Structure 1
Amino acid sequence: MTETVSEHGDEVRARRRQSPARIMLAGASGNFVEWFDFTLYGFSAVVIAATFFPADSGSSGLLATFAIYGVAFVARPAGAVVFGRIGDRMGRRTALSASVLLMGAATAAIGLLPSWSAIGIAAPILLMVCRLAQGFSAGGEYTGALTFGLEHAPPRRRMLWMAVVGSSTMLGAAGATLTIVVFQTVAGDAFAAGAWRWTFVFGGLLSLVGLLLRLGVDETPVFTELKEDGGARRPGLGRMLRERWRTMLVLLCFFGVVGVITHMFLGYMPTYLAQAGGISSSAALTVITGLTLFAAFVGPVFGSVADRVGRRPLVRAGAVGAVVVLVPAYLLIGTRSMVAIVFAMLALLIVVSLLGAGGMAVLEMLPADVRYTGMALPYNVAYALFAGTAPLVSQALVDASGSLLAPAFYATALALIALPVIFRAIPETRGSDLRTGVVTS
């Protein structure tokens, strides 16, 4: 009788570890934390500049804050290589558990750092170290979470599963903006004086939840099978670069466009809305929170569409949208009409969602033994070059040209250059074999 009860308990625990809901939640949790933490920094740029730089630094302090925002992306390629190799050799779950723990520790540390008035130049240096640690951990997070979701998903629901994981990006951003709004409302003037720090400590604690969720599910079936066959022990990085360098260049181009548009929205838009839209910080955060929640809903809808009609139509629609939507959207923001601003930002989010839903298919192009590294490396190199610098370049262009449309022209030019590459070089991957990356149906 005791053995029967024990066997029943083991079966229940096994079913729980293989539950689709638990698997998607485990994959999404760390990605939520990553974007929660990164968005906190972008949306707290003004108070961070006032805390970690001299009081009389003015716009140079804000530019320095955006520069440190971009520094985190410099470390992402290194994180992509390290966590990618862990994920391709030791398992997706192992890499994801390590990355979320490091991200949380670095985020909490930002909230505990002394200010410029306390330790002088050491304050921004320590801030930069924390941002480098955040960037290093993020190098393996997003692509690893998508890989985890893809390799667990039923064959006809791959894009939906990945889109659910991908939606945690927007949920993390929305969670960060909502947290800032709540803390600003409750703390009032004390928020800028130091209460903002608790938002970063809270973000760090969230990583522990992500870690527990990931330890509570099984490794992906695809990786388990690969490891049993000995494929996970083969060196993957060198072979991947030799045999798939063209694919790496295509992905670099694609993620460069996606990264610029995404981080102009998440990292720079609160500042831009105050400059061009003439709306308060709290109003900007409220609008962005609502729109990112909407985007989190739209993502799985687009993912489901991609499962039915294919990946290429969505990624092509997003690529065209990036060329034609950006400048009109920024012009609408400049009208200072709240209705126009909401409409413009909604259009930008739809472009990002289309690119994201279609672009997740690039994981299906790669064989399992290099999948984690194969997407993480070009993704994070592109984000280091283009996404991380987007807020800094945007503000610098505005300051240099005096034109509030300069960021839109910059992003449009990049999207126009990438358009023919995206149209011609990203194939339809529906029905591909996840072991080999070859389309079988």
Structure 2
Amino acid sequence: MASFLGSALEYYDFFIYGSAAALVFNHVFFPAESEAVATFAALATFGVGYLARPVGGLVLGHFGDRLGRKRVLLLALLIMGSATLAIGFLPTYDQVGILAPVLLVICRLAQGFSAGGEAAGASTLTLEHSPEGRRAFFTSFTMTGYAAGMVIATLVFIPLTSLPQEQLLSWGWRVPFWLSVVMLFVAYFVRTKLDETPVFEAAQEGHEVKKLPVAEVVMTQWREVIRVILCSLFAVAQTIFTVFGLAYATRPEIGIERTTMLWVSSLAIAGSIIVIPLCARLSDRVGRRPVWIAGLTGCAVATFGYFWAISVGSVPLIFLAAILLMTVFYSMVNGLWPSFFPEMFAAPVRYSGLAVGTQIGFLLAGFSPAIGWAILGTGTNAWLSVAIFTAFCMLIAAAAGYTARETYRVPIDKLGRYTKA
């Protein structure tokens, strides 16, 4: 429950920021001379948060392996909630000029710093509390929190997009950021009731806690860090679907309603609340690698179908393609990485290795909407270059996962064994 709620808050914040960046921030925080340039800049601020994620992973991962999982997760939660709430009170470009996007970027960097340690900490904590043979199933609830957060964010955002443009741009977009404080209080209360993980307590008692966990993991398990970086490119599919897809489909040339695309995202991701734990349970039975590779291969193919459906303007086909891409194939991957990745590392460096590896890999995902906008072509098949870029990232992640050790039957005390360099 603690991991679920923390992830729900993180991805609620993620989705309201992504939606606002795609639909509103180009009008609110940037000069109006060129809409195309303002849109690119707004999408780029979405990516800026990912620059801070490796730093957050480095710092929070260090303290998570030194002081314990619980304390660091509470800190990450407070930073994320405070930064998101602050965005809702920021002045606009018309009010303070260039200071407006500067303040937006500062808040986005704080969000990224928090996120750098949130998912890794929640996954590590849940993995180390999980019973043998069901680790993927238990840790998958970290990512059902992702789905729940996005659905809640969409339900909040949909009625606001029906407001007159003037009201949406003046106060309407701020409401979802203000409401994040409710989720923050609930998640923080639940996390204060947590016990520290038995694995970390055993490491403390055995004097295995490292003074510099990040240095230790780089020296002893650098291959696993690189593998996790490459595997983490899977997240490109998510940001291309949720952020770039929204901006692309609502362009005047395509003309799909904003509310329609928000419903597409909401329903496709809502379905993954059920599919994610089922796919994770499957990997507890057949192994991590088969499910990982199948999910990423499916994402690579389904991306083409999704953008083709948008290009022809068929709402039923868009819904169908979105369900295949996000509800089915992406859920196979998203429900698996919270167990697959931390299982690659030994307990004394697990939080650090997972946080640093994932957040460096997620950097490309953060800037993918802006990259997609930059490489977007013209005409009916303008989307093709973006789909090729996304599919290429999926295949790299699949290949990296193929090189990993199969861990679904390995006892937790034997995970990530290494020889000190």
- TM bucket (normalised to shorter chain) is over 0.9
Question: Any conservation in 1 of the 2:210–2:216 contact (CA below 8 Å)?
Answer: no
2:346 pairs, out of 367, 376, 390, with 367
**Are residues 204 and 269 of structure 1, via their aligned partners in 2, closer, same or farther at CA, if it must alter by over 3 Å?**
farther
Residues 180, 351 of structure 1: alpha-carbon distance in 2 compared, 3 angstrom cutoff: same
Quick one: which of 237, 254, 269 aligns to 2:231? 254
Q: How does 1:396-415 map to 2 (within 5 A)?
A: 396-398=374-376, 403-415=382-394
Q: Which residue in 1 is equivalent to 2:306? A: 329
1:136-285 aligned at under 5 Å gives the runs: 136-185=113-162, 190-256=167-233, 258-275=234-251, 278-285=255-262
Q: Which amino acid counterpart does residue 389 of structure 1 have in structure 2?
A: F
Offset from partner CA, 1:371-391 (integer Å, 9 cap, x none): 11111101001111x111111
1:117-128 alignment to 2 at 5 Å? 117-128=94-105
For residue 60 of structure 2, give the secondary structure of its aligned residue in structure 1.
helix
- Report which stretch shifted further, 306-315 or 226-235: 226-235
Runs of 4+ in 1 over 6 A off after TM superposition: none
Secondary structure of 2:413's counterpart equals coil
Change (3 A) 1:204 1:61: farther
Distance 1:280 1:427 in 2: 46
Give 2:30's aligned residue: 53
Q: CA deviation at 1:418?
A: 4.1
Q: CA deviation at 1:200?
A: 0.5
Separation (CA, whole Å) in 1 of partners of 2:401 and 2:130: 26
CA contact (8 A) 1:312 1:358 kept: no
Is 1:27 the counterpart of 2:6? The answer is: no
Does residue 300 (structure 1) correspond to residue 277 (structure 2)? The answer is yes
TM-fit CA distance, 1:159:
0.9
CA contact (8 A) 1:70 1:389 kept: yes
Q: Report the aligned-residue RMSD.
A: 1.9
Alignment partners' CA distance in 2, 1:368 and 1:27: 18
Are 1:106 and 1:204, in contact at CA under 8 Å, matched by a contact in 2? no
Structure 1 CA distance for aligned equivalents of residues 182 and 165 of structure 2: 23
* Structure 2 residue corresponding to 1:434, chosen from 407, 412, 416: 412
Please state how far the C-alpha of 1:421 moved relative to its aligned partner: 2.9
Q: 1:28 to 1:358 in 2, by over 3 A?
A: closer
Q: Report the equivalent of 2:322.
A: 345
1:303–1:187 CA distance, 2 compared to 1 (3 A): farther
- Within 5 Å, give how 1:55-94 maps onto structure 2: 55-94=32-71
Mean CA deviation greater in 394-403 or 125-134: 394-403
Aligned to 1:354: 332
Task: Tell me the amino acid that sits aligned with residue 408 of structure 1.
Answer: A
Contact 2:264 2:318 in 1 (8 A): no
Aligned residues: 412
**Which letter maps to 1:433?**
P
Distance 1:326 1:365, change over 3 A: same
Q: How many angstroms does 1:335 deviate by?
A: 2.1
8 A Cα contact 1:173 1:266, kept in partner:
no
Distance 1:71 1:218, change over 3 A: same
Change (3 A) 1:298 1:318: same
1:42 maps onto 2:18 in alignment:
yes
Map Cα deviations across residues 324-344 of structure 1 (whole Å, 9 max, x no partner).
332233222322111110111
Secondary structure of 2:133's match?
A: helix
* Paired residues of 1:30 and 1:210 also in contact (CA < 8 A): yes
Task: Identify the range of structure 1 (169-178 vs 105-114) with the bigger mean alpha-carbon deviation.
Answer: 169-178
| Range with greater deviation from structure 2 (314-323 or 242-251) | 314-323
The answer for unaligned runs of 5 or more in structure 2 is none
Distance 1:252 1:270 in 2: 27
Partner residue, 1:12: none
Q: Give CA-to-partner distance per residue, 1:145-184, whole Å, 9 cap, x none.
A: 1111111111122111111121111111111111101334
SS at match of 1:53: coil
**In the alignment, is residue 103 of structure 1 matched against residue 53 of structure 2?**
no
Give the aligned partner of residue 14 of structure 1: none
TM-score normalised to the size of structure 1? 0.89
Tell me, which stretches of 5 or more residues in structure 1 are unaligned?
Answer: 1-24
Change (3 A) 1:325 1:286: closer
CA distance in 1 between partners of 2:27 and 2:171 (Å): 10
Deviates more, 1:333-342 or 1:375-384: 333-342
Tell me by how many angstroms 1:191 deviates.
Answer: 2.2
SS at match of 1:232: coil
- CA shift at 1:279, angstroms? 1.6
The residue type paired with residue 312 of structure 1 is R
TM-score by length of 2: 0.93
Equivalent position amino acid for 1:415 in 2: M
Deviation at 1:29, TM superposition (A): 1.1
